[in-house]
C-alpha cells in the first residue's frame, strides 16, 4: 500500500476571530502566540484553547468609518513583549505589551512619506503592506508592498534604510492588474539565516533575491520545464520595451496566473522553498 501522510489537529483554538486570519506568530517565550485578522490581534497561551486576550482592536464603532485593516503581524524574535503589525495604508506600528494590556497606542510608527509627484489612482492599493518580517538579529524588519521590499531599522521610523524594487516594470501595467484583481495579491518575503539576503516572489513563477551587502539582485524562475534535478537556475531578465534580447522575456508575455506568493529560507543553510501555485520547489546552493 502507498504510504499516506495525514495531518490531524492536536488542538483547535476557536471562536476568537470574526474575519479571515492573516497572521500567526509564536512568541519567543515559547508559551504564547498571536493571531491577527483584519481588525483584531489576539494573544493566546499555547495550552489554553478556549480563551484569548485581545491586544489590538481597530474596529470603529461605525463600520462606515473604517479606513484601514491589519494585513500582517509578527512577534519580535528576542523581546517577548514587542510585536509589530502592518496596515493596508502602508504603515507599520510597533507595540510594547508592557505599556498596557490593550495596545491601541503604538510605541513606534513607521511610514515612508509619499512622493506627491508619483501619486495616482493606485497609490493606496500598491502601498498596502502584504507581509512584515523581523530579521533574525531583531534589529531590522522587512515589509513587502505590491512593487517593492523595504528594510527598516527599528531605531529609525521616518524612512526605510533600503528599498528594493521587485518588479518595477509592472508600474505601467497597474490598470490591467487592477482589472484582473492581481493588484490585490499578497506576496510574502523572507530573510536568509544571516540576514544578508532577502527573497520574495513575483509573477510568471519568478522569484527575486537581493544581496544586502553587494547590492546585487537576481531574478530566478521556478518551473518544471527549467528545473531538472541538480541543474542550476539561470537568471532571467524582463524586457520593458525596445528591442528584446535573446534571453529576455517581454513584460507583455508574463503569465499573471503563475505567481509565487509564498517563499521560505532555511534558518541555517542556503536552502530555499518556493511555492508556485500547486508545486513546491526546493533549491539549494550549488555544491561543487
The string of DSSP letters for 56-123 reads: EE---SSGGG----EEEEEE-SS-TTEEEEEETTS-EEEEETTT-SS--S-SEEE-PPP-GGG--TTH
Write out pLDDT tens, residues 243-257.
Answer: 777 778 888 888 999
Write down the pLDDT at residue 92: 96
Write down the pLDDT at residue 253: 86
Residue 106 to residues 32, 57, 60, 92, Cα–Cα distance (Å)? 20, 12, 17, 10
DSSP of 125-192:
HHHS--EEEE-TTSSEEEEE-SSEEEEEETT--SS-SEEEES-GGGGGGHHHHHHTTGGG----EEE-
168: its cell numbers: 518595477
Write down the pLDDT at residue 227: 64
Distance CA 178, CA 193 (A): 35
Query: Residue 55's closest CA among 87, 94, 97, 13?
Result: 97
Write down the pLDDT at residue 288: 56
Write down the pLDDT at residue 118: 75
- Which backbone phi and psi does 118 adopt, to 5 degrees? -100, 10
pTM: 0.90
Write down the pLDDT at residue 70: 96
Distance CA 56, CA 59 (A): 9
Q: What is the pLDDT along the chain (288 residues), one digit of tens a residue?
A: 888 989 999 999 998 999 999 999 999 999 999 999 999 999 999 999 999 999 999 999 999 999 999 999 999 999 999 999 999 999 999 999 988 777 777 788 898 888 787 788 888 999 999 999 999 999 999 999 999 999 999 999 989 999 999 999 999 899 999 999 999 999 999 999 999 999 999 999 999 999 999 999 999 999 877 667 777 788 888 887 767 777 788 888 889 999 999 999 999 999 999 999 889 999 998 765
56: its cell numbers: 489590538
Residue the block writes with cell 542550476: 232
Residue 45 to residues 32, 35, 53, 143, Cα–Cα distance (Å)? 4, 11, 9, 27
- Which backbone phi and psi does 219 adopt, to 5 degrees? -110, 125
Amino acid at each position: 500500500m502507498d504510504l499516506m501522510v495525514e495531518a490531524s489537529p492536536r488542538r483547535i483554538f476557536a471562536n476568537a476571530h470574526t474575519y479571515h486570519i492573516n497572521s500567526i506568530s509564536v512568541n519567543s517565550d515559547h508559551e504564547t502566540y498571536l493571531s491577527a485578522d483584519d481588525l483584531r490581534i489576539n494573544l493566546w497561551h499555547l495550552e489554553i484553547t478556549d480563551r484569548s486576550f485581545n491586544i489590538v482592536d481597530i474596529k470603529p464603532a461605525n463600520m462606515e468609518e473604517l479606513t484601514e485593516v491589519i494585513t500582517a503581524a509578527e512577534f519580535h524574535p528576542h523581546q517577548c513583549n514587542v510585536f509589530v503589525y502592518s496596515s493596508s495604508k502602508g504603515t507599520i506600528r510597533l507595540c510594547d505589551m508592557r505599556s498596557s494590556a490593550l495596545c491601541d497606542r503604538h510605541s513606534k510608527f513607521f511610514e515612508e512619506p509619499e512622493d506627491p509627484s508619483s501619486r495616482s489612482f493606485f497609490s493606496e492599493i500598491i502601498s498596502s503592506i502584504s507581509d512584515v518580517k523581523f530579521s533574525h538579529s531583531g534589529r531590522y524588519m522587512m515589509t513587502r508592498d505590491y512593487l517593492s521590499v523595504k528594510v527598516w531599522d527599528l531605531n529609525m521610523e521616518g524612512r526605510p534604510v533600503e528599498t528594493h524594487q521587485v518588479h518595477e516594470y509592472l508600474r505601467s501595467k497597474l490598470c490591467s492588474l487592477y482589472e484582473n484583481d492581481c493588484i490585490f495579491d499578497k506576496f510574502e518575503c523572507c530573510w536568509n539565516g544571516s540576514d544578508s539576503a532577502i527573497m520574495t516572489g513575483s509573477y510568471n513563477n519568478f522569484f527575486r533575491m537581493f544581496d544586502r551587502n553587494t547590492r546585487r539582485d537576481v531574478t530566478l524562475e521556478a518551473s518544471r520545464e527549467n528545473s531538472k534535478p541538480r541543474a542550476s537556475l539561470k537568471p532571467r531578465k524582463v524586457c520593458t520595451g525596445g528591442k528584446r534580447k535573446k534571453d529576455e522575456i517581454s513584460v507583455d508575455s508574463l503569465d499573471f496566473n503563475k505567481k509565487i506568493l509564498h517563499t521560505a529560507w532555511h534558518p541555517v543553510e542556503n536552502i530555499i522553498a518556493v511555492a508556485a501555485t500547486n508545486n513546491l520547489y526546493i533549491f539549494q546552493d550549488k555544491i561543487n
